[in-house]
Amino acid sequence: MTGGEPQDESRGAARERYERIYAILRNRICLLDYPPGQRLREEDLAEEFHVSRTPLRRVLGRLEDEGLLRSVHGVGTIVTDIDIDGLQQVYQLRVELAELIGKLSPVSPQEATVAKFRALLARAARLLDEPDAREFASVNMEFTHLLAGLTANEPLREINERLYYQTTRIWLKTASKLSQYREMLVTEMTIFHREIADIVAAIEIGNLESVGHIRRAHIAMSFQRLHEQAHSADQSP
């Protein structure tokens, strides 16, 4: 152990900066700082991070390969959107993959990791008194990361995170356009808080298989609720 590198053991200042900028932009997209449809300018971003366009384009290229951006010659680089059908496809897949965390090389988490889960539970609890969409998205993201870390199967971890990034912003954006947005948000936060509580309980007794089942159920129900809300909104106005 050399210190605090989060995941990759890749040395090299250039690579580190690349990963850093990538993570920042990805988070901005997923937290709706850059909502779907937003146009980004390479030059502005290059200036912000104090690099030239060349290394920045390397980052944008990866985000494009992962489906979060789309660059068009002569037009610009825009944050992508997904239709309800594409959203459903990703959710169906995530539902199946959730269960695999408890089946493929599950790792009993260190006490430090369990502490992080409890910290998220506390943040989710505070959210109930003081609803905040961005904080909700943030907690949700960190929770997903921690969960993905419960498997030693690295490809599975990467895929889980990748699919999450592709859908989470769409969930927020779709929900925010519905009339029942505030109630929905509170409902979701309440359910989310229960999910974390359930999963923390499962982790504390070392039953990672149950973690997978709980998570699977919640992903499936979360999409179902969104889908039904969106559908009823189509019919009523």
Name which of 197 and 221 has its Cβ closer to a second copy. Answer: 221
- For the CB of residue 46, give the shortest distance to DNA in the complex, in Å: 7
Give the C-alpha separation, 39 to 69, whole Å. Answer: 9
**Distance of closest approach, residue 66 Cβ to DNA, in angstroms:** 15
Based on the shown chain and the rule CB under 7 A, indicate whether residue 17 belongs to the binding site for DNA.
Answer: yes
C-beta separation of 34 from 172 below 8 A: no
With binding defined as CB under 7 A, does residue 51 bind DNA?
A: yes
Nearer to a second copy, 154 or 183 (CB): 154
User: Smaller CB distance to DNA: residue 42 or 161?
Assistant: 42
CA distance 165 to 74: 27
Q: For residue 166, count other CB atoms closer than 10 A to its CB.
A: 20
Q: Catalog residues that contact a second copy under the rule CB under 8 A.
A: 12, 14, 57-58, 61-62, 65, 72-73, 86, 89-90, 92-93, 96, 100, 103-105, 152-156, 159, 163, 166
Taking a C-beta distance cutoff of 8 angstroms, is the pair 56, 195 a contact? no
By a kind-dependent CB cut-off of 5 to 8 A, residue 75 interacts, out of a second copy, DNA, none, with DNA
By CB under 7 A, residue 12 contacts DNA: yes
Exactly one of 54, 110, 235, 236 binds DNA (CB under 7 A); that residue is: 54
Listed ranges 5-13, 29-37, 107-115, 186-194: which one lies at the site for DNA (CB under 7 A)? 5-13
Between 159 and 217, name the residue whose CB sits nearer to a second copy: 159
Name, in order, each residue with C-beta under 8 angstroms of 142's C-beta and a sequence gap of 6 or more. Answer: 120
In the complex, minimum distance from the CB of residue 44 to DNA, in angstroms, rounded to a whole number:
8
Residues 65-94 that bind DNA (CB under 7 A): 71-77
User: Where on the phi/psi map is residue 38: left (φ > 0), alpha (ψ -120 to 50), or beta?
Assistant: beta
Dihedral angle sign, alpha carbons of residues 231, 68, 117, 131: negative
**How far apart, in whole angstroms, are the C-alpha atoms of residue 53 and residue 59?**
10
Does residue 20 touch DNA according to CB under 7 A? Answer: no
Say whether residue 4 binds DNA (CB under 7 A). no
Catalog residues that contact DNA under the rule CB under 7 A.
Answer: 11-15, 17-18, 39-43, 51-55, 57-58, 71-77
